[in-house]
């Protein structure tokens, strides 16, 4: 529950002390970078680390969250103004570059105080230790990851993110996070009053290990300052649903995390996923396996394994489409987010609010991405297939964005039915309440409609390019010439920012919305 407490006059000295302390760090950082030419990376990360320590102690010196909320908003505004105007060189002097050596903005200095603000709104009463723990991990762990990774030379992890991440940095993140989380859970143990109360020390240390693995994956996956938001948010979320809402248990999370880790490693071995896809699957799987149990896990695994296997079948027949589609059959993090991100959100919402209708929205989004995957895979594997553009019904080459075929459309409906069937097999009580036949029709229809939505967006707004080297239309933004040079493809239609992952996400959203609304009209829970 969001809570802004009334201000207290006794907090004013602490408020001005906080402003002075943070201002002093920023001024000292400016002095070191401008006058003494100290590396802006080192200065920025030392400030980052110091802010984590300061935010850890803020609840000790304030009786209410009023002034901490004001201060965090003020610091967020200062960070944003500095980013736009380039005022604080200690925060923004060193440009952030992606793997293509392009300069990109980093919103880390804005998101750091903002995530503190959000946690202070929710956790100040009774659970402020969660805020303290998450902010300390962010401040120390994330800073050490960057400093150690840079100092060690940075052996980059292949296929991980648009911003290079190093093995050494990830190791530093894991070790420091594990130590902080272990100590924090033991120190704050007397404050546990919910789901963590009474847990033995070895279970708390095991939870610290799982959380350290999760935040290490988060730090490796997210770039441009977004890790400043998602590192503390992931820690706070897990601890909140175990301690406060009790929608998950430590045992369930540990088993779910172990299973998700095994699935991710096996998927790399089978070349279903690359490194970033495996890291994203570990995060998604830990949440769904660890919180939802078998009734949420089986439908997800049904989609994952059936679609992954289908993507590998008929490789020779589909080879002619390899240069048409934006990505290959080995999924990366973007594809995991596009196909499973909405399901991930549905699980998170259910863990916070417990609404049973959300389960059907979850099945709807899995049916949507299954339908889309099956339509594409079966449509391209079918002997002598014929496809028509969904907007004009003119015949187009198979594999064209927005093209639909009878085999592909039929496969999309069958794939959707399999998602619901997997939940029926698990004897989910909510499905029995709605009715098995009704549930199958709702989820099957939701998946079918979503696949058509995907085709519509593919035909209208998804970016399509002309490959001058191979003289064909493609979803890829660039091509590789015979000499190894990169050639930018010409945009034929659509918008640059509307890629296949975005269209898949819209498909997933539509499936969840259709299923949610349909079931709400069928069954009052």
Question: Quick one: 461 exposed, middle or buried, by C-beta within 10 A (0-12, 13-18, 19+)?
Answer: middle
Instruction: Evaluate whether 176 touches 148 at the Cβ level (below 8 Å).
Output: no
Give the model's pLDDT for residue 363.
Answer: 97
- Measuring CA to CA, how many Å separate 145 from each of 4, 32, 98, 190? 34, 22, 17, 31
Task: Give the separation between CA 64 and CA 61, rounded to whole angstroms.
Answer: 9
Residue 508: which residues within 8 A CB-CB, separation 6 or more?
338, 339, 341, 342, 343, 365, 368, 369, 450
Question: Checking phi first, is residue 358 left (phi over 0); if not, alpha (psi -120 to 50) or beta?
Answer: alpha
Check residue 358 and give its pLDDT: 96
Residue 323 confidence class, pLDDT cut points 50, 70, 90 = very low
Bigger pLDDT: 502 vs 485: 502
Q: What percentage of the chain exceeds 90 in pLDDT? A: 54
How far apart, in whole angstroms, are the C-alpha atoms of residue 492 and residue 402?
14
- Spatial separation of the C-alpha atoms in residues 190 and 203, rounded to whole Å: 15
pLDDT average, residue stretch 181-193:
96
Q: What is the pLDDT of residues 58-79, one digit of tens each?
A: 999 999 999 999 999 999 999 8
DSSP state of 141: I
- pTM for this entry: 0.88
Phi then psi for residue 476, to 5 deg, are -85, 140
pLDDT tens-digit map of 13-53: 999 999 999 999 989 988 888 888 788 778 888 898 999 99
Matching residue, tokens 């519509």: 456
Q: Tokens in use for 146?
A: 């960057």
Per-residue model confidence (pLDDT) at position 162 = 61
- Paired tokens of 444: 């099957």
At residue 384, the pLDDT reads 67
Q: Among the listed ranges 237-251, 312-326, 366-380, which one has the minimum average pLDDT value?
A: 312-326
Q: How far apart are CA 196 and CA 41, in angstroms?
A: 38
pLDDT of residue 369: 93
Question: Residue for token digits 């301690």?
Answer: 243
Identify which of 206, 141, 511 has the alpha carbon closest to the alpha carbon of residue 338: 511
Q: What is the mean predicted confidence (pLDDT) over 500-516?
A: 93
Nearest Cα neighbor of 123 from 180, 175, 53, 55 is 55
Separation CA 502–CA 242 (nearest Å): 32
- Each residue of 292-313: b (16+ CB within 10 Å) or e? beebbbbbbbbbbebbbebbee
Strands 490-493, 478-480: parallel, antiparallel or unpaired by DSSP?
Answer: unpaired
In the block, residue with structure tokens 């996070």: 177
Indicate the SS3 state at residue 491. strand
Lookup: tokens for 398: 């198979």
- Among 188, 199, 282, smallest CA distance to 234 is for 282
Strand locations in 94-198 (E): 96-97, 103-104
Helix or strand or coil: residue 8? coil
Confidence at residue 1, expressed as pLDDT on a 0 to 100 scale: 63
Q: What pLDDT does residue 329 have?
A: 54
Return the closest-CA partner of residue 147 out of 49, 230, 36, 53.
49
């Amino acid at each position: 529950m969001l809570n802004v407490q009334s201000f207290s006059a006794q907090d004013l000295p602490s408020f001005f002390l906080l402003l002075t302390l943070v201002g002093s760090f920023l001024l000292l950082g400016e002095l070191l970078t401008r006058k003494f030419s100290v590396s802006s990376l080192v200065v920025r990360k030392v400030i980052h680390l110091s802010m984590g320590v300061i935010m850890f102690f803020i609840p000790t010196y304030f009786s209410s969250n009023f002034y901490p909320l004001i201060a965090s908003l003020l610091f967020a505004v200062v960070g944003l103004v500095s980013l736009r105007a380039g005022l604080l060189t200690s925060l923004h002097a060193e440009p952030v570059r992606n793997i293509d050596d392009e300069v990109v903005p980093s919103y880390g200095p804005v998101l750091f105080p903002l995530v503190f603000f959000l946690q202070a709104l929710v956790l100040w009463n009774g659970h402020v230790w969660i805020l303290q723990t998450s902010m300390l991990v962010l401040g120390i762990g994330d800073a050490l990851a960057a400093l150690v990774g840079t100092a060690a030379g940075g052996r980059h992890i292949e296929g991980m993110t648009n911003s290079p991440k190093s093995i050494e940095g990830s190791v530093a993140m894991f070790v420091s996070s594990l130590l902080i989380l272990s100590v924090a859970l033991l120190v704050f143990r007397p404050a546990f009053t919910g789901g963590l109360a009474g847990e033995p020390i070895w279970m708390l240390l095991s939870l610290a290990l799982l959380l350290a693995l999760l935040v290490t994956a988060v730090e490796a996956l997210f770039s441009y300052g977004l890790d400043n938001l998602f590192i503390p948010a992931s820690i706070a979320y897990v601890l909140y649903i175990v301690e406060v809402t009790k929608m998950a248990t430590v045992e369930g999370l540990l088993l779910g995390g172990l299973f998700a880790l095994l699935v991710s490693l096996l998927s790399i071995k089978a070349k279903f996923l690359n490194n970033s896809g495996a890291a994203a699957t570990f995060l998604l799987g830990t949440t769904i396996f660890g919180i939802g149990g078998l009734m949420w896990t089986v439908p997800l695994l049904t989609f994952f394994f059936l679609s992954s296997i289908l993507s590998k079948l008929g490789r020779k027949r589909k080879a002619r489409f390899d240069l048409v589609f934006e990505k290959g059959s080995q999924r990366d993090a973007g594809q995991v987010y596009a196909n499973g991100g909405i399901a991930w959100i549905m699980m998170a919402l259910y863990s916070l609010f417990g609404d049973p209708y959300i389960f059907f929205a979850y099945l709807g989004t899995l049916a949507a991405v299954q339908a889309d995957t099956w339509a594409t895979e079966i449509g391209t594997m079918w002997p002598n297939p014929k496809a028509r553009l969904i907007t004009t019904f003119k015949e187009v080459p198979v594999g064209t964005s927005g093209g639909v075929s009878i085999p592909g459309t039929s496969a999309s409906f069958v794939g959707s039915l399999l998602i619901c069937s997997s939940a029926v097999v698990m004897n989910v009580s909510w499905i029995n309440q709605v009715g098995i036949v009704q549930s199958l029709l709702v989820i099957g229809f939701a998946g079918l409609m979503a696949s058509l939505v995907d085709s519509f967006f593919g035909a209208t707004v998804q970016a399509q390019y002309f490959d001058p080297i191979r003289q064909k239309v493609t979803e890829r933004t660039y091509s590789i010439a015979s000499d190894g040079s990169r050639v930018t493809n010409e945009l034929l239609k659509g918008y640059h920012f509307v890629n296949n992952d975005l269209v898949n996400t819209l498909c997933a959203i539509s499936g969840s919305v259709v299923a949610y609304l349909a079931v709400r009209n069928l069954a009052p829970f």
